[in-house]
Structure 1
Amino acid sequence: MNSAPRVERLEAAGRAAVGECPVWHAKDQALYWVDIPARRIVRLAVAAGQRSEWALPEQVACFAFDAAGTLVAGMETGLFAVTLPDAGDVRLTKLAAPRFDAPGMRFNDGRCDRQGRFWAGTMVQDMSLASTAGALFRFDADGTLSAPIVDGLITQNGLAFSPDGATMYLSDSHPQKRLIWAFDFATDTGTPHNRRVFADLHHHVGRPDGAAVDADGCYWTCANDAGCLLRFTPEGKLDRTIELPATKPSMCAFGGDDLSTLYVTSIRPAANATDADGCVFALHPGVQGLPEPIYAGMLPVA
């Protein structure tokens, strides 16, 4: 299990400027992800090597499916229901919008908890400002957007939930932070509490970007700027490091028939990019993942 797995570059996936939010959709046997500045949602039917993409009118950073295959997506101006047609234009319905506390904000990392509530955080896009205007929000199954649940974030990231749903993980990937927190999570109310530092990447490498939890309850984070994946036990101990060809891995997700494949998106830096930067990778780390929860509410179909 601890030998270095072979990392495969998925050539059919193409390259993204900022590839994020990989989600395995079992019904389609396909991997979906976003390219944030390109305003694209991308799908790769892995076995066939067939790539599709959909253009959106504004940047999209995170999404989750509902039971019907409609997406709830975090974008620049709010949360939207997104219908991806086989042909023609994407259809959007605005669901809710938070109060953005600074100019130039958008949603960033997000996913559903084990009960099907959609969680997503906001950030100021200009990271050089180191603005703490970012916050984490909950979108309940009844279509209600919460007040900020966690605030004071610079670059919200790393959202994930333990297999039993009783622990919520959250990170701030800004260079000034580089922290991953764990919270006790009340599954009945969707309320995190007892926040504590789970891992401080100042003691490791890179910045903690997008994450996934495996069936053993271990937390995988993409170490952005360090070109590797880090796996932490539920006690916060680093137990594996897997090197990647791309300098800026951005988020990982388990997929495939038995959820034993780990897919990783990456970012293509503006300067000194390599041939691998911006690509999607696949590897078999020797552990299984968990099915990605779907949104429990009923989204409108435009």
Structure 2
Amino acid sequence: MSTKASVERIDVAGRAQVGESPVWRASEQALYWVDIPARRIVRLHIGSGLRSEWVLPEQVACLAFDRGGTVLAGLETGLFAVTLASGASDATARRLAAPTFSAPGMRFNDGRCDRQGRFWSGTMVQDMSLASPAGALFRFDAQGTLSAPIVDGLITQNGLAWSPDGTTMYLSDSHSTRRTIWAFDFDTETGTPHNRRLFADLHHYAGRPDGAAIDADGCYWTCANDAGRLLRFTPQGKLDREIAVPAVKPSMCAFGGNGFDTLFVTSIRPAGSASDDDGAVFAVRPGVSGLPEPEYAGRL
């Protein structure tokens, strides 16, 4: 099942402690991602190799852009509008909304926009050893309203993605006791998922399902954390491609580059046993193309 593909470590991207949430911004020809515990948003202009970073007041786990270039980000205490000043190292963050956390020590985790521009993100207890199912998935609509929990009982929410036509939503729980990806039918008008069903059980494969991306064929790519793999599942939930990456803990992937034919992959640097590849960003040529990342439809 292993598929040959070009895998390049982007050395000018540096190393992250917990690299996550890569987003390709086509208007800038630049890749953005976060380093969660370092409280950083990082930007790399691919053509020039120019790297910039901004420090936030809290840990930042996920981001999207609105149409004006303001960042919508999930931090520890809520969702924030973040302005990345040119030439500055600090970002200004304004809290937009916050849920009532159901346990101490929680933060937002994986997040992105659906095809209609609503922002979705889930919460988790940061101490994963507790295996606490206190996490939940939330929707932040274009009117600036944060929903009640849409899906609850999650330990480590991850893997958000939507099919090209937006009518299927994917969600995973990457905790070692769950290792599950679900699919939902998705009402594009109301932003409501229903008919939750098993899409893939990664107990049958190597690794845990972390961040994900959808390609133009409607196939679901997940980072197999702890296994150094990218796994591609067809819309029917069949594994049809597997690509090895040098980092043992790939964390999330996003299509970008010219023609969206590059799959950018962030990774995590494990404490005490990291190699030079762990925590790096990789550019993978998987032989298929992806889709532009939707922007948030509201005004920040």
TM range (shorter): over 0.9
Cα deviation per residue 1:203-242 (whole Å; 9 max; x = unaligned)?
1110000000000000000000000000000000000000
- Note if 1:72 corresponds to 2:75: no
Q: Which residue of 2 aligns with 1:35?
A: 35
- Mapped to 1, the partners of 2:166 and 2:228 lie a distance apart of 29
Shift of 1:3: 4.7
Classify the secondary structure of the residue corresponding to 1:175. Answer: coil
RMSD over aligned Cα atoms:
0.7
Q: Does 1:22 align with 2:22?
A: yes
Aligned-partner residue type, residue 275 of structure 1: D
The one-character-per-residue Cα deviations of 1:28-84 (angstroms, maximum 9, x if unpaired) are 100000000000000000111111000001000001000000011000000000010
Q: How does 1:159-174 map to 2 (within 5 A)?
A: 159-174=160-175
Taking structure 1 as the reference length, the TM-score comes to 0.98
Q: Which residue of 2 aligns with 1:206?
A: 207
CA distance in 1, matches of 2:213, 2:43: 19
Instruction: Find the counterpart in structure 1 of residue 187 from structure 2.
Output: 186
Return the letter of the residue paired with 2:169.
M
Letter of the 2:10 partner, please give it: L
Deviations 1:172-191 (A, max 9, x none): 00000000000000000000
Secondary structure of the residue aligned to 1:128 is helix
| Residues 156-187 of structure 1 deviation map (CA, whole Å, 9 limit, x = unaligned) | 00000000000000000000000000000000
Equivalent-residue separation in structure 1 for 2:87 and 2:213 (angstroms):
32
TM-score (norm 2): 0.98
User: Given residue 246 of structure 1, which amino acid in structure 2 is its aligned partner?
Assistant: A
Q: Which runs of 5+ in 2 are unaligned?
A: none
Q: What is the match of residue 198 of structure 2?
A: 197
* In 2: Cα distance, 1:50 partner to 1:218 partner: 32
Partners in 2 of 1:285 and 1:231 — Cα distance? 10
1:102-147 Cα shifts (integer Å, max 9, x gaps): 0000000000000000000000000000000000000000000000
Which residue of the partner structure matches residue 92 of structure 2? 91
Give the whole-Å Cα distance in 1 for the aligned partners of 2:33 and 2:187: 29
After superposition, residues 213-228 of structure 1 pair within 5 angstroms as 213-228=214-229
Say yes or no: does 1:280 pair with 2:284. Answer: no
Report the Cα distance in structure 1 between the residues aligned to 2:137 and 2:272, rounded to whole angstroms: 31
Deviation at 1:6, TM superposition (A): 1.6
* 2:53 paired with 1:53: yes
- Give the letter aligned to residue 298 of structure 1: R
Partner SS state of residue 7, structure 1: strand
State the secondary structure of the residue aligned to 1:258.
Answer: helix
CA distance in 1, matches of 2:101, 2:109: 13
State whether residues 224 and 231 of structure 2, in contact with CA within 8 Å, keep that contact through their aligned partners in structure 1: yes
For residues 291 and 84 of structure 2, what CA distance do their matches in structure 1 show? 24
Identical counterparts, % of pairs? 76
Q: Distance in 2 between matches of 1:190 and 1:109?
A: 18
Counterpart secondary structure, 2:58: coil
Distance of 1:6 and 1:293 partners within structure 2? 26
**Residue 250 (structure 2) pairs with residue 244 (structure 1):** no
Q: Equivalents in 2 of 1:53, 1:92: separation in Å?
A: 15
Where structure 1 has 5 or more consecutive residues not aligned to the other structure, the ranges are: none
Q: Which residue of 1 aligns with 2:114?
A: 113
Q: Residue 134 in 1 paired to residue 131 in 2?
A: no
State the alpha-carbon separation in 2 of the partners of residues 198 and 21 from structure 1.
Answer: 22
Distance 2:215 2:34 in 1: 22
Name the structure 2 match of 1:266: 267
Show the counterpart of 2:257.
256
Tell me, yes or no, if the aligned pair for 2:3 and 2:242 is still in contact at 8 Å: no
Letter paired with 1:56? L
| Paired residues of 2:255 and 2:263 also in contact (CA < 8 A) | yes
